[in-house]
Amino acid sequence: QEMRNPADARDLVGRVAWASDGDVNAALDAARVWDAPAAERAEVLRRVADLYEAHYGELFALCAREAGKMVGDSVAELREAADFLRYYAAHAPDAAPVGRFACISPWNFPLAIFTGQVAAALAAGNAVLAKPAEQSPLIAHRAVRLFHEAGVPRAALQLLPGAGEVGAALTADPRVDGVAFTGGTDTARRIRAAMADNLAPGAPLIAETGGLNAMIVDSTALPEQAVQAIVESAFQSAGQRCSALRMLYVQQDIADNLLEMLYGAMEELGIGDPWLLSTDVGPVIDEASAKKITDHCEKYEKRGELLKKLSIPEKGNFVSPAVLRVTGIQDLKEEIFGPVLHVATFDAKEIDQVVDDINAKGYGLTFGVHSRVDHRVDRIASRIKVGNTYVNRNQIGAIVGSQPFGGEGLSGTGPKAGGPQYVRRFMK
């Protein structure tokens, strides 16, 4: 398979051969738990973090060319990956591992989430079969080589690149003892069913899945602060974050002024080559994603509900950052994974109903609230059913160790990544 730059298809980043059924079978037969003492495992994982940082330029280039990551996002990606390695190393237990763990990771954080899953499983002493997203196997391959260079045994960490068939083969094989997955909710449901039919009872599924993340901005919010947070939450990384803002509720009293400020801020966004420091919004990952996002926006435009969009480069998988008018989150049938913001207004007396509507969708990943009334913030935060609530800031960019990340309901299972309970899920 040819891996090409989503910002410029002329740029051939590399080639990869998908793992065959025979490769999956051979990897499972060869897998061996990492039975080194906890202190030794911890030391090796810290060496991996050091190697990541030593190879920062190479990893930044891969993130930009294969995944369309902006330079700033690539820096954050490497920092988070190194933080995961060091944090889980500090929590490496003297206890029995689950056994063979399948780690299935997404393309939108091709180094950080890939590393977080693998590092936690290895910290607990498991044998890991790592299946990266089909859009970003080159980054995963480079990472695995650095794991091995640092001293992780090859039998304890094997890479199985491929499409969904590889993940399906892993999650339905009784030799697998547990699964870590980050991706869509529908895929997680299929994995859960395959595990129930084929894996041992009690095999852990650690899943971080989709969301319809909302933000409420009331009339007391500082508009400049709110607009900056909205732009960052909805459009940074071309909206391709699990935590990204999808549904904005603005109190009617301030809506016209706030939206005018938002449109002005959007005009300042630089859209283009992610390798340039002047770029604020890069490409989406592939043509299929670009088409789905564009088709969604065109449907709203035909109904006269497109409030704002920007011009974009002609070549590459670019889509316009867009603002669409809806009556509320109940209008959204699925997550649109790109730089698309849906906006609704509400009256002050309706704020409890807005929270109820958000909860009723069943997702629960991130939520933002902008208000300078403490008791209102406390009331909303106590009633909203999400994994991460952010007050008067953006709702992306959780920090390993101090802001463990993960959802509830349709958005995830179990302890949150980057938190003290996470490694325990990889233990027997």
- Is 103 an active-site residue? no
Q: How far apart are CA 44 and CA 53, in angstroms?
A: 14
Burial 390-424 (b: 16+ CB within 10 A, else e): beebbbbbbebeeebbbbbbbbbbbbbbbbeebbe
Q: How far apart are CA 417 and CA 399, in angstroms?
A: 10
Q: How far apart are CA 38 and CA 44, in angstroms?
A: 10
Do residues 325 and 307 lie in contact, with contact meaning Cβ atoms separated by under 8 Å? yes
Q: What is the DSSP letter of 331?
A: G
Q: How far apart are CA 99 and CA 31, in angstroms?
A: 9
Q: What is the chain's Cα-based Rg?
A: 21
The active-site residue, picked from 208, 232, 297, 335, is 208
CA-CA-CA-CA torsion sign (118, 402, 367, 239): negative
Q: How far apart are CA 29 and CA 41, in angstroms?
A: 22
Q: How far apart are CA 67 and CA 135, in angstroms?
A: 7
- Is 242 an active-site residue? yes
The active-site residue, picked from 63, 103, 242, 297, is 242
Q: Beta-strand (E) ranges in 149-238?
A: 157-159, 178-182, 205-208, 214-217
In this structure, the number of other CB atoms found within 10 A of the CB of residue 186 comes to: 12
Backbone φ and ψ for 321, nearest 5 degrees, come out as -55, 135
Enclosing H/E stretch for 128: strand 127-131
Q: Which residues lie below 8 Å from residue 101, measured CB to CB, with a gap of 6+?
A: 121, 126, 127, 128, 129, 176, 177, 178, 179, 180, 426
CA-CA-CA-CA torsion sign (221, 70, 143, 49): negative
| One-letter amino acid for residue 178 of the chain | G
Residue carrying the six token digits 């002493």: 125
Q: How far apart are CA 98 and CA 171, in angstroms?
A: 15
Active site residues: 208, 242
